[in-house]
Amino acid sequence: MAEVAEAAQPLLERATADELKHYYYQMLLLRRFEERAGEMYVKAKIGGYCHLNLGEEATIVGLMAALTPDDYIFTNYREHGYIIARGVPPGPVMAELFGKETGVSGGRGGSMHLFDRKTNFMGGYAIVGGQVPLAVGAAYALRYQGKPGVVIAQMGDGTTNIGAFYESLNLAKIWKCPVLFFIVNNGYGMGTSVEAGSSEPDLWKKGASFRVYGERVDGTDVLAVRDVVRRLRVRAEAEGEPAIIDAVSFRFRGHSVIDSDRYRDPEAVRRGRELYDPIRKFAALLLDHGVVDDAWLKSVADRVEREVQEAIDFANNSPDPKFEDLYKYMYATPVPNTPTAEDAIRAVKINHGEF
């Protein structure tokens, strides 16, 4: 994991005690949500692919703490934590992972396609880099319409090697789009290290040929992430200056739940979990500054356990999508000759051998 500079400003000058406590609560909630999601996957409650944010909690909470309600977020498929930190309750998120009607995407999207219009969370995208051009387009729309806000194009380090990333940087600079390219740099694009996959491993430099400013930040420091995003967000909105943020973090597990992570040295992974655990580091920081005590930490842990279990119970008890709604969300607006509810029921019966 690359070295990054630490902030020297005293803790309580950077955030209030209530803010610090809330950041810790959010990070712990994301950690336990993802750990229990992994358990639910093993129990076959969750199907398809499932990518967890374990180890990236400070990156997520710091990013979301810097945004306003006017801002939009486009993410990749590792997005569970982002939508929760944006303010969506864990229950509908877990229900979506379970494929339930009460999920944030009605059970149609699953783990990789979470969406919430009310919070301007524009979804997870399964195609690597698929969200980046769309985010630039949304940022251009904000500028064109004279509306407030910026757009976050969140991505993994591997996305910075595809053509659409560079095309998006170019257009964002030419059109003065209020967009931040937020790279979650956990060191690996699936099983390939950043150094092996990119001729320029300093990802924040990749906008240089387009004159797009870049900056690296310690992704395990929630306040450092928040402060960098806040500063560059103001710049993007006021001046139409896009920027790259290279948030360096440590991925606790393999690329997805089914990835055995054999390409990394087990001892290095063990050390990484100890050295770069953002929750352990933040808890120690709060204790050292007298912001919290052990009793408070335990009470928050108990609260988080209850809330995550309630989310699982909500998902378990939620109904599956109706058969007759199979074709309901094929198009955003009515289209001629779209299959009807009757067609859906007939297709199900044929599939079950009833015709």
pLDDT tens profile 254-312: 888 888 888 888 898 888 888 999 999 999 999 999 999 999 999 999 999 999 999 99
Strands (E), the chain: 72-76, 121-125, 151-156, 179-185, 188-189, 192-193, 213-218, 243-248
Are 219 and 249 in contact by the 8 Å Cβ rule? The answer is: yes
What is the pLDDT averaged over residues 128-157?
97
Give pLDDT, residue 9: 65
Q: What digits encode the pLDDT tens for the residues 157-202? A: 999 999 999 999 999 999 999 999 999 998 888 888 888 888 899 9
6-321, CATH topology level: Rossmann fold (3.40.50)
More confident residue, 334 or 155: 155
pTM over 0.85: yes
Residues 6+ apart with CB under 8 A from 186: 55, 56, 156, 157, 219, 249, 250, 251
Give pLDDT, residue 5: 45
Longest dimension (CA), the chain: 72
Strands (E), 77-229: 121-125, 151-156, 179-185, 188-189, 192-193, 213-218
pLDDT greater than 50 at residue 244: yes
CA–CA gap between residue 270 and residue 142 (Å, rounded): 44
State the span(s) of the chain assigned CATH 3.40.50.970. 6-321
Mapping DSSP onto H, E and C, the string for 260-303 reads CCCCCCHHHHHHHHHHCCHHHHHHHHHHHCCCCCHHHHHHHHHH
CB count within 10 Å of CB 313 equals: 12
Give pLDDT, residue 157: 93
Q: Which amino acid is at 142?
A: L
What is the pLDDT averaged over residues 230-253?
95
pLDDT greater than 80 at residue 113: yes
Give pLDDT, residue 166: 97
CA–CA gap between residue 65 and residue 198 (Å, rounded): 30
Share of the chain above pLDDT 70, in %: 97
What is the pLDDT averaged over residues 339-346?
89
pLDDT greater than 60 at residue 2: no
To which residue do tokens 């928050």 refer?
Answer: 300
Partners of residue 125 on adjacent β-strands: 76
Give pLDDT, residue 191: 83
